[in-house]
Chain A
Amino acid sequence: MTAQTEVTGDIVVVRLPLEKLDLSTTSDFKQMMLAVTAEYKKAILDLSSISFVDSSGLGALLSVLRELTGVGGDLKLCCVQKRVRVMFELVRMHRVLTIYDTVPQALASFADPASA
C-alpha cells in the first residue's frame, strides 16, 4: 500500500488510500508515511478520503508531525471532513496541527509563514 504523492518544489502533498485513521489502519499509515518522510521535510496531508480518526490515528499523525518538525520541516493538514475536525477539536489538536481547507491554501502557507 502506497500513498499517492504530488511534489511542488520541496513540498509533498500526500493522499492516503484509506477511509479512516484508527487502530486498524495506523500501522499501514505509519508504513506509508515512513517512505514520505525519508524524502521530504515539508508535507501536506490531504485528508479528504478520511471519514474517521480515533485516538490511535491521532497519535500517528502527531508522531509524523514531530518527526518532520524535528528536522526543520512541518506537517500541515487539509480537506478535513467535519467529523474528523470535531474529533480534533475535542482534543485541542487544531491548536497543534495547522489545518487548511484546500491544498493550495496549505501550499501557500509554506511559502508565506506569516499566513500560518
Chain B
Amino acid sequence: MENTPAPSLIRVLLIDDDEEDYLITRELLSEIETARFAVTWFANPDVALRELQDGALFDICLLDYRMGRRNGLDVLPEIVAACSAIPIILLTGQNDSHVDREAVRRGASDFLVKGEADAILLERSIRYAMRQKRTEEELRQQRTFVSAVLDTAGALVLVVDREGRIVRFNRACERLSGYSFAELEGENFDLLLPPEMKTSVMDTLARLVAGDFPYQRENDWLTRSGERRRIVFNNTCLTDRDGNVEYVVSSGIDVTDQRRAEAALAEARERELEVGASIQKTLLVRSAPTHIPGVTFGAFTRAAQRVGGDYLDFFVYDDRCVDVLVGDVMGKGVPAALLAAATKNHFQRAVRRLVHDLIPFGRLPEPQEIVEAVHRALTPELYRLCSFVTLSYTRFDLQRRQATFVDCGHPAPLHFDATGPFRKLGGENVPLGLCLEERYRQRTVPFGPDDLFFFYSDGLFETTDPEETPFGVERLIASVERLRHCAPAEIASSVCAEVEAFGVDGLIDDDRTCVVVKIARDPMPASRMVRHKEVPARLEYLDEARDFVEAALQEGTADGLTQDEIFRLVLASHEAITNILRHAYPPDDADVAPDSDRPSETIRIEVQCFTDRVILDLRDTGVAFYPPERIPPPILDGTREGGFGLFLIREAVDDMLYRRDDFGRNLLRLTKNYTHPSI
C-alpha cells in the first residue's frame, strides 16, 4: 500500500445536515496537498443511503454524529449494510469516548472531533481508514476464497478450537453429516462421534493440543440419520505467536465404501480359500483303501493357502489289483482345483468304461490304455484352457507282484526295494495337454515283501527354507528311508510334517500330497488253484455255472472239505447266482433278446483255492442290491415260501462279503475255511 502512489482523486461522501460544516470540511480537504478530493455532500442521510444502495461509488464516507432527527451512530450500520467496502469516519462536535468506542464497534474506522481536526489530521485519518478498509477487504476476500475452496473440496474440513468446539465445517462435512455449519458452529464436535469412540477421539484432540502429534487417525462419524461413516483424518494444528495450539484443522476422507469393498474383497478371498479347501477335501482327494490283504496304503495331503491342483485317487479292482493315481494341475486357486477335479473324473470314467468294455475279454484295462483314453479326451480340452496336467498312474498287481506305471511328467515315484537297489519310477512321457501325438507307455517293475513305494507332488521337495534352499528330493528320500518301518499313514504325515518344519513358518505356497504303498512282509499267500468262468446272466446257464463250481471245488478242495460241505457251497453259489438274476438284472429286461443285445450282462465266477480256505467270488455289472445284512432271517416253519436263499448261503460259508466296487460292479465273496486244512 505504502508503495502505491496516492489515488489522483478520492471520492468523498459527506453526510452532514449542517451546510456550514460541509463548507469547513471541504475547505480542510482542499488544503491537503498530497491528494485531491471530490466531495459529494448529502444533508439527508436517507438520500445518501439510497445513493449507496443504487451503486454510487465512494472511497470514503465522512459521517456527522449529530444530524437533527437522525443520529450518526444509527446511520452507521445502515451504511455498512449498503456498502461494506466503504470506510467510514465519524465526525462529532465533542470528544466523547463512549461515542468513539460505539462508533468503532458499529463499523466506523475512525472518530474525529470537529474543530480539533486540521487538514493534516484529516488526511491521515482518511488515508488510514482507507488502508485499513482495503486490508479488511482483502482479508474478507481471502476468507471467501478459502471458504470457496473448502466448500468445493471433496474432502471433509473440520476446524475445532482447543476445547473441540467447531469453528469451521465445510460443505463436504455438511453433506456427509446432514448437519449445517450454522447448527454446529460453536458446538463440541464430539456430538458427531459414536458413543464408544468419544473418549479415544477426545483423547487424540488432547494430545494434539498438548503438542504431541498424531497426524492421522481413523474413526467413525454418526450422521444425523444415524448412519455410521468411516473417516480417515489428517490433522494439522494452527498455533498462536507463542506456539500454543489455537485450532486443530482436520481434513478427512470418507472411506466407508472403500472399507466395505475391502471387507467384501477379503471375504470373497476367504470364500475362495474355503471353496478351494473343500474342493480339495471332497473332490480331489480320496482316502486310501484299507483291508486289502498284503498291502497297506497311506495318503496325506495339505492344501496350500490358495488351493493348488493336487489330486489323488485309488481304483480297487479286487484284492489283487489296485491302481494309484497322483497328479497335479498347472496353476493354483479354484480354476486349478476345478481342472484337477475334471481330470480325476476323466480317469474314473475311462477306467469304468474300459473295465466294462473288456469284460468279454476277461481282463482289466492296462494302465497305458487308461492314460491313453484320458489323454485323448482331456488333451484337446487342456489345449483350449492353455493348461497341462502331470500325473503318475501305477497299478499294483499283488498276485503277480509287480507294479506297472505310466509317468506323465510327474515327480518320479520312489521305490524302496527291500532287497535290491533303490529306484525312481521315472518315464519319458510329457504331461497331459502338451502334445496330442504323445503315446503313453507303461513300464513294469517287480516288487517283493517289505517293499515301499512313495508318490509325491512337487510341493514336497520344492518347499524352501527362509534362505530359499529347497527341501529337495534327496532330503525327501532320506526322510522316507528313516521312516520306512512306520505305518504308511504315519510315513505320509511325518514326511509332510518334516517338510513343513523345514519351510517358512506358516507358509504353504503349494499343495503337498504324498501316497505311501507298503507291501506286507508276509503278503497274501499265493492261491493253489484259481478257476474262473463267465456265464451270461440267464436261467439257462444256471446248471453250467453250478457244474463249474462243483468241478472246481472237487478239484481244489477235496482234501479240505467234505462232500457235504462241497455240496452246501455249490448250493450257496447257486443261490447267490439266482439272486443276481433276480435282483441285479431286473426282470423288465426279460423282453430284450438276451443273446444279441446284452452281451455285458454276465456273471463272473471265480473259485480260488488256498491251503486253508476257498474263496468264491461272484461279480456282476447289474444294479446294486442290498447288503445281505439288511435282509431279515427266514422263517423256517413252512409258513413262508421265501427268504431261504440267503439263509442257505450263510449256513454254507464262514464269511460273506458284499461290495459295490469302484467300477459299478457287485462283488459277493464267499469264504469257506477248511475243516481239515491240508499242509
Contact = CB atoms under 8 A, between A and B. Distances in A.
Interface in B556-612: 564, 567-568, 571, 574-575, 578, 581-582
* Interface of A (DSSP majority class): helix
B582 A23 contact: yes
B538 to A, nearest CB: 9
Given A59-B641, A59-B644, A54 B574 contact: yes
B343 to A, nearest CB: 45
Contacts of B634: 91
B216 to A, nearest CB: 87
A92 B567 CA distance: 17
A91 B644 contact: yes
A60 B641 contact: yes
A66 B641 CA distance: 10
Contacts of A52: 546
Given A54-B574, A58-B644, A59-B641, A91 B636 contact: yes
Nearest to A58: B644
Contacts of A83: 567
- Chain B interface secondary structure, helix, strand, loop or mixed? helix
B575 A54 contact: yes
Interface in A50-77: 52, 54-56, 58-60, 62-63, 65-66
B564 A63 contact: no
A54 B638 contact: no
Contacts, number: 64
A22 B571 CA distance: 11
B638 A62 contact: yes
Size bracket, chain B contacts? 20 to 34
Contacts of A97: 638
A71 B174 CA distance: 103
Contact of A90 (B539, B568, B641): B568
A3 interface: no
Nearest to A22: B542
Contacts of B639: 66
Contacts of A103: none
B637 interface: yes
A92 B568 CA distance: 14
A62 to B, nearest CB: 5
12 contacts: A22-B578, A55-B648, A59-B641, A59-B644, A60-B641, A86-B568, A90-B571, A91-B644, A91-B648, A92-B636, A93-B636, A96-B637
Interface of A: 20, 22-24, 52, 54-56, 58-60, 62-63, 65-66, 83, 86-87, 90-93, 95-97
